[in-house]
Amino acid sequence: MTVDVLLCDGFGGGDLQTLEVGGEMKSANLRVRGDAVAFVSHKYHCVTPVLSGERKVCVCEIWAGEERVCPHRCKRRHSACVFRREGGLEAQIVASLVRD
């Protein structure tokens, strides 16, 4: 799990967005110091540009098990990650985001 906790307020832009099933981007409503959101760490996410002020966030990643090389904790320890290979799921998702 990834937990983001907003440490400040008074900024514009800087919306945390997560990629949802179906391809839509969902914005988390983090606006006031202390607001927090938790999501599965392998979910694709981004932050829109900060337009004014300064955005400060504490980001904590909590996971159990053996350390993995790939960022989404793939269960494959010794073979190529299916998300990372050329033409794999990650490449398809990134290509669709760039197209839009």
Q: What is the pLDDT of residues 11-41, one digit of tens each?
A: 999 999 999 888 899 999 899 999 999 998 8
Taking the domains of the chain in order of start, what are their residue ranges? 1-63, 66-100
Alpha helices (H) in the chain, listed in sequence order: 89-99
CA triple 35-37-42, angle to 5 deg: 155
Are the C-beta atoms of 17 and 46 separated by less than 8 Å?
Answer: yes
Q: Can you give the pLDDT at residue 63?
A: 79
What pTM did the predictor assign?
0.64
Q: Look at residue 19 and give its three-state secondary structure.
A: strand
Q: What is the pLDDT of residues 47-81, one digit of tens each?
A: 999 999 999 999 998 877 666 556 555 665 555 66
Name the percent of the chain lying above pLDDT 70: 64
Are the C-beta atoms of 45 and 4 separated by less than 8 Å?
Answer: no
